[in-house]
Chain A
Amino acid sequence: MKTFFQNPRVQRSGRTALILLLIIVMTGPEGSGTQPTAGFTGSFGNHMSFFGLFYPQRWVVFLLLTLIVVGLTSLVKMAHRWWIERQRAGNNAVARVAKTLAATKQRARHRSTRLSLYAVALAFALYFPHLVTDQSWQTLVVQDVLVYLLLALGLNVVTGFAGLLDLGYVAFYAIGAYTTAWVTGSLPTPPPFGVHWNTFVAIPVAIVFAMLCGVLLGIPTLRLRGDYLAIVTLGFGEIVYLFINNSYGITGGSTGTNQIPFLSFHLGPIKYLWGLIPEPYYYLTLAFVVIFLLAFSSLEHSRVGRSWVAIREDEVAAESLGIHPLKYKVMAFAIGAASAGFAGVVTASQTLFVTPPTFTISFSINILVLVIFGGMGSIFGVVLGGLVVQGFVAYLTHSPPSIYNAADLYMYLGALLVVMMIYRPAGLFPSRRRRREVSQVEAGTAPDTLQVEIGAHRVQEDV
C-alpha cells in the first residue's frame, strides 16, 4: 500500500485531482456564515454550460475539461517527442524546418530584428484605440493595464534590478495621486502658492515628489536586508495609508479628495478639455510608458545598473569593490518611485477623485504579482507579464464570466504567486542573468544575498 502511494505517477495524479478540486471550489458559488457549506456543495452540484453544448453539473464539466487539458498536453508531448526524433534522424522535412527555425531564432537575437519587433509593437499600441473602439474597454486599458504597467516597471527597478523587495510600493502611487490633488487645489491643504494649477503641472511635481519620498523612505529603511526590508516597507506603506485615511485636514481623510479637474490645455488659442473620452489618456499614458521603458532599460545597462546587479548578487563583494550600497539602493528606490508618481497622476486625473482604499497593501501585492509573473529584473518579462495578467484582469472586469466574482481577484493572484514560486521562481520570461542567479543559489554555488541579516550584531550563543 505504501509503495502504491509512493509511485510518482499516483502521486502526480493525486496532486492533479486535488488541484482540480480546489479549482472547482474556487470558481464555484459563494457561501456565507449562515450557509458555510453552500459554496462547496454548489461548486459540485450546480449546473453549468459546457461550451453551450449541454448543461451538466459542474463536476462533470470540470472532469471533461481536465480530460481535454490532460489529453491535449499528452498530444503536445507526443508531437514534441516525434518532432525531436525526426529531427535527430536528420535529412527530412522536419529537420529542415527545425534548422530554419533555429536560424530565425538566431536572427531574432540580432539587434535590428529586435528593434523592428519593437517598432511593430509600438505601431500596434498606437493603433489600438482604433481597433477597440468601445470606450469602457479603452478606460480599462488605461486604468487597469497601462497604469499597472507603469507601476510594475517601477517596482521592477527596485525589486528586479536592485533586489529589494518593497511591499509598500503603493505609497509612491498614493503620493503621486495626492500630489495631483494638491497641485490642482483639490485638497483641504491650499495648493502651492495658492494657485489652482493645471493638472499638467502635476506631472513633473508628482514625479519629483515621489522620488523625494523614495529618498526619504529609503535612507532609514534600506540598511535592512531581505525579508526585514520587506516587512518594514510594508509597515511604511500602512503608515502612509493610515495617514492619508485619517488626516481630514490635510488629505481629506477617508472621504477622499475633492473633485480633480479634467486634464486641459489652455495655451493661447489652443484649448482642449479632456473629458470622458479615454483616448487622450491612453496616448498620454502610453507615451510615458515608452519613456519609462527607454529610461529604465538604458539604466539597466549603465554603470548604475551594473552596480545594482553587483549589490543584488553579493553586497559585501560589491562594497569591497568600492560600490556604496546604500547610495545605489536609495537611488533604486527613488527611480522606481518616479513611474509610480506618474501613474498616480493618471489615476487621479482620470477618475477625478482620490480615495484612500485604492492604496492598501493589496495593491502593492498586485504589482508584485506582475513583476514576479513576468520575471524579476527583466523589462521585457515585466511588460509581457503585466500585459498578460492585467489584460486578463481587464477582460474579467469588463465581461465577467459567470464563474468569476470580482471580489475573488486576490484569491487568484495569491494562488498565482504560490504556483510561480513553486514552479517558475524566476518568472515566465526571466532575464538570463536572473535565471542563473536563482539556479546558482539553489545549487549552493552562490551566497544567498537575500538571506535575512539582523544587523551586524547577531548574537552567537552556545547550547
Chain B
Amino acid sequence: MSYFSSHFATLGHEFWGLLVGGIANGFIYAMVAIGYTMVYGVLRLINFAHSEVFMTGAFASFFLLKFLVGNSTPNAFESVVYLIAAVVIGGVVGALVALLLERVAYRPLRRRNAPKLAYLISAIGASYFLYNFVGKEFGRINLSIDAPYTNNTVFTIFGATVQTYYIVIFFVGVTMLVALDRLVATSKLGRGIRAVAQDAETASLMGVNIDRTIALTFMLGGFLGGVAGFLYSIPVGAVYGMGFTPALKAFSAAVLGGIGNLRGAVLGGLILGVVESLSVAFVSGAYIDVVAFGVLVLVLLVRPTGILGERLGRSA
C-alpha cells in the first residue's frame, strides 16, 4: 500500500511536467502511427521499414540545419524560416524514402501477389539495410541537431515549465495532423485512398489508379514520419538506429487507436505518450519501453481492433 501511495505522491509532484512531456511525445508517436495506419488501410500490411523513414527524415533535417544554422544564433524571423525549411526537408526526404521502399521492397511482391508474410520479411530486410547503410555513410555516433531556436521556458503551467521545444512540437504536430485529416477527408486523392482502403478491386474499376494511390499513401505517411523524425531528434540528435524503438511504439499507438483509423492513430499516439510518461512515477525510467510494448501486447490480446476499430474507409 505504501508503495503505491509514495509513488502517487511522486506522481502528484511531477504530474504536470510529465504530462507536458508525454503529450509532446504523443504527437510524435501520432505522426508516425499515421504512416502505419494509412499503409495498413490500403495494403493490409505492416510497413516495418517505416522506422527508417523516420530516421532518414531526421538526417535530412540535420544536414539542412547544419548548413543553415551552423554555429550562428538565428533571430526570431530566421528561426521560423529555418524551422519550416527543416520540417519540409524532413518530410520530403521521408516521403521519398517511403516511395523508394514501396517501389523496391513492396511493388515487385505486389505484382506477384506474394503471401503477406513475404512483405513483412522484405520490409524487415529493407529496414536493416537502410539503417545500416545510413550508419555507414554518416557515421555511427549521435549527431546533434543545430536547433534553429534557443530552448527557453515559454511559460509555466502548474509548476511545469513548457519549453520552446514543446511549443514547436505542438504547432507542427497539430498543423500536420489537421492538414492530413482534411486532405484525406475532402480531396480527390483522399477519396482515392479511402476507396482503395475499402475495396481495391472495385476502386480500380471506378477508375482509381491503384499503383498511384498506393504510392501517394506511402508518401503521405512518409512525409509525416520524416517530420516526426526531425522533431524527435531535436533534443537527442540523429543516429542511424534511432528509428526502431519509437517506431515500434508508434505502431503500438496505431494498434491501440485501432489500426486503419486515422483519428485512432492520433488518439492512440497521445494516450501512449502520456501513459508512458506518467508511468515513470511507478517504474524505473529504464523500464519505460516495457510499458509501450506491454500496451501493444495487451491491446492485441484483449481488443485487437483498438479503441476506435478499423474505419479508414469511412470519412475519417
* A–B touching in complex (CB under 8 Å): yes
Residues of chain A contacted by B141 (CB below 8 angstroms): 33
Stretch at the interface among B209-217, B224-232, B266-274, B299-307: B299-307
Residues of B within 8 A of A448 (CB): 115-116
Question: If the complex has contacts A232-B296, A450-B116, are A414 and B132 also in contact, measured as CB distance less than 8 A?
Answer: yes
Q: How far is the CB of B282 from chain A (nearest CB, A)?
A: 15
Which chain B residues lie closer than 8 Å to A33 at the CB level?
Answer: 62, 138-139, 141, 143
B121 to chain A, nearest CB (A): 5
B127 within 8 A of A: yes
Interfacial chain A residues near B251, Cβ < 8 Å: 231
Q: Please determine whether B122 and A455 come into contact, CB atoms closer than 8 angstroms.
A: no
Interface size on A, residues (CB 8 A): 69
Name which residue of chain B comes closest to A444, CB basis.
Answer: B113
Tell me which of A47-55, A222-230, A269-277 binds B.
A222-230
Is B259 an interface position by the 8 A CB rule?
Answer: yes
405-463 of chain A: CB within 8 A of chain B = 405, 407-408, 410-411, 413-422, 425, 438, 441-444, 448, 450-452, 454-455, 457-459, 461, 463
- Closest A residue to B198 using CB positions: A463
Does B108 have its Cβ within 8 Å of any Cβ on chain A? yes
- Report the separation of the CA atoms of residues A32 and B130 in the bound assembly, to the nearest whole angstrom: 16
Q: How far is the CA of A337 from the CA of B265 in the complex (A)?
A: 35
Q: Are A438 and B115 in contact (CB under 8 A)?
A: yes
Question: B133 an interface residue at 8 Å Cβ cutoff?
Answer: yes
A368 contacts the other chain (CB 8 A)? yes
Across the interface, which residues of A come within 8 angstroms of B138, CB to CB?
Answer: 31-33, 36, 39
Cβ contacts A226-248/B at 8 Å (1 or 0 each): 11101110111011001101100
From B20-28, B151-159, B176-184, B286-294, give the one contacting chain A: B286-294
Do B105 and A418 touch (CB < 8 A)?
yes
Complex: A419 Cα to B126 Cα, angstroms: 10
B309 beta carbon closer than 8 Å to chain A: yes
A39 touches B305 (CB 8 A): no
A379 sits at the interface (CB 8 A): no
> How many A-B contacts at CB < 8 Å in the complex?
195
Closest chain-B Cβ to A232's Cβ sits at a distance in Å of: 6
Determine if A165 is an interface residue (Cβ-Cβ < 8 Å): yes
Contact B113 A442 (CB under 8 A): yes
Q: A421-B121, A422-B109 are in contact. Are A414 and B128 (CB under 8 A)?
A: yes
Which residue of B is nearest A455, CB measured? B304
Asked whether, in the complex, the Cβ of B139 is within 8 Å of the Cβ of A32, the reply is yes
> Which residues on the A side are within 8 Å of B128 (C-beta)?
362, 365, 410-411, 413-414, 417
| In the complex, residue of chain A having the shortest beta-carbon distance to the beta carbon of B288 | A242
* Pairwise interchain contact A246-B137, C-beta atoms closer than 8 A: no
* B63:A36 contact, CB within 8 angstroms: yes
A417 B122 Cβ-Cβ under 8 A = yes
A407 touches B118 (CB 8 A): no
Evaluate contact between A459 and B305: CB separation under 8 angstroms: yes
Most buried by B among A365, A448, A452, A455: A452
A200 CB-CB contact with B under 8 Å: no
Q: Does A372 contact B (CB under 8 A)?
A: yes
CB distance from A96 to the nearest CB of B (A): 39
Query: CA–CA, A167 to B115, complex, Å?
Result: 18
Does A279 have its Cβ within 8 Å of any Cβ on chain B?
Answer: no
B295 to chain A, nearest CB (A): 9
B146 to chain A, nearest CB (A): 12
Chain A residue, CB-CB nearest to B309: A459
**Cβ-based interface call for A40 (8 A):** yes
Q: Within the complex, which residue of A239, A368, A442 is in contact with B294, where a contact is CB–CB below 8 Å? A: A239
Which chain B residue shows the least CB distance to A439? Answer: B112
Contacts of B1 in A (CB 8 A): none
Beta-carbon contacts under 8 Å, B123-153 to A: 124-130, 132-133, 135-141, 143
**Which residue of chain B is the closest to A36 with respect to CB atoms?**
B138
Q: Tell me if B236 counts as interface (CB < 8 A to partner A).
A: no
| Residue B9 is within 8 A (CB to CB) of chain A in the complex | no
A36, B135: Cα distance in complex, Å: 11
Give A1-42 as 1s and 0s: 1 = Cβ < 8 Å from B's Cβ atoms: 000000000000000000000000110001111101001100
Report the separation of the CA atoms of residues A448 and B307 in the bound assembly, to the nearest whole angstrom.
Answer: 27
Known: A459-B310, A461-B313. A418 touches B104 (CB 8 A): yes
Report the Cα distance A365→B138, complex, angstroms: 23
A420 to B126, CA, bound (A): 11
Establish whether residues B304 and A224, one from each chain, have CB atoms under 8 Å apart when the complex forms: yes
Check A228 against B300 for contact (C-beta < 8 Å). yes
Q: Which residues of A contact B293 (CB under 8 A)?
A: 235-236, 238-239
Q: How far is A226 from B40 in the complex, measured between Cα atoms in Å?
A: 14
Chain A residues within an 8 Å CB radius of B126: 414, 417-418
Q: In the bound complex, how far is the Cα of B294 from the Cα of A243, in angstroms? A: 12
User: How many angstroms between the C-alpha atoms of A239 and B293 in the bound complex?
Assistant: 7
B82 CB, nearest partner CB in chain A, Å? 19
- B136 pairs with A407, CB closer than 8 A: yes
Q: Does B205 contact A (CB under 8 A)?
A: no
Whether A194 sits at the interface, judged by CB under 8 Å, is no
Separation in Å of the B208 CB from the closest CB of chain A?
13
Instruction: Judge whether A30 and B46 touch: CB under 8 Å.
Output: no
Chain A interfacial positions (CB closer than 8 Å to B) = 25-26, 30-34, 36, 39-40, 163, 165, 167, 220-221, 223-224, 226-228, 230-232, 234-236, 238-239, 242-243, 245-246, 361-362, 365, 368, 372, 405, 407-408, 410-411, 413-422, 425, 438, 441-444, 448, 450-452, 454-455, 457-459, 461, 463
Q: A407-B135, A414-B129 are in contact. List 11 more A-B contacts (CB 8 A).
A: A221-B301, A226-B117, A235-B297, A238-B289, A365-B128, A411-B135, A414-B127, A420-B121, A450-B116, A452-B45, A461-B311
19 A-B pairs in the complex with CB atoms less than 8 angstroms apart = A25-B137, A30-B139, A33-B62, A36-B138, A165-B120, A227-B116, A228-B300, A232-B301, A235-B293, A362-B128, A405-B136, A414-B124, A417-B126, A418-B105, A419-B125, A420-B121, A455-B304, A458-B305, A458-B310
